[in-house]
Copies of this chain bind each other. A is one copy, B any other.
Amino acid sequence: MEIRNNREQQRDDLRNRLIAAAEHQLADGGLAGLKAREVTAEAGCALGGLYNAFDDLDRLILHVNLRTLARLGQALRDAVPMGAAADRKMLALAQAYVTFALGNRKLWAALFDHRLPEGVETPDWYLAAHSVLIAEIAPPLAALRPDLSTEDLMLRSKTLFAAVHGVVQLSLQGRFIGAPLERIESEVAALVTAMTRGL
């Protein structure tokens, strides 16, 4: 039988409550607003309970980010118009990324602002979860750039993502040299068009 005994159920329950509470606090107050005491209060357990369920606050944040990445991945997959031309797909992906960032600002920021302490290496399952960021880019890019080898295609997909991300990030930061919000989409579109144009 696969009866998960009460222990495991409660353990998973608590973990999920903690993740949900942390997600809530993170979406509200950003990384700086995430407090162990507030999270455990909202999750309905004692302060120490957090450290039975997770190694530390950083690991809990990683799990929140995991959820955010899953939602972002879904949004990107949903955004690709079936049967459309490759350049249309690319533009749709970029726009979906902008839309997600704008609609989930604090959680999206946590994805890129959070840092593990020096010397602590990122778990593999967390690294792997980031593949959603470029998974949808490679296929249409391959159609637009048949001159690229598989390896170069992967690299260029990462570069294209990073470039779009940079524009969105500096713009949403809103303090330095980013584009004003109402022009992000058009600037990103120009960037994507330039990068996907063949030789």
Residues of A within 8 A of B (CB): 29-30, 32-33, 113, 115, 117-118, 122, 127, 130-131, 133-134, 155-156, 158-159, 161-167, 169-171, 175-179, 183, 187, 190-191, 194-195, 197
Contacts and interface: CB of A to CB of B under 8 A. Distances in A.
Contact of A179 (B29, B115, B155, B166): B155
Contact of A195 (B164, B177, B191): B191
Contacts of A122: 175
A97 to B, nearest CB: 12
Contacts of A183: 155
Contact of A158 (B115, B164, B177): B177
A36 to B, nearest CB: 17
Copies of this chain, count = 2
A133 B191 contact: no
Contact of A176 (B118, B133, B194, B197): B133
B161 A177 contact: yes
A190 B156 CA distance: 9
B167 A32 contact: no
Nearest to A30: B118
A156 B187 contact: yes
Contacts of A30: 118
Contact of A127 (B32, B159, B171, B176): B176
A29 B166 CA distance: 25
Contacts of A131: 177
Nearest to A33: B118
Contact of A165 (B32, B158, B166, B191): B166
B29 A187 contact: no
Contact of A118 (B29, B164, B177, B187): B29
A179 B158 contact: yes
Contacts of A187: 155-156, 159
Contacts of A177: 130-131, 133-134, 158, 161-162
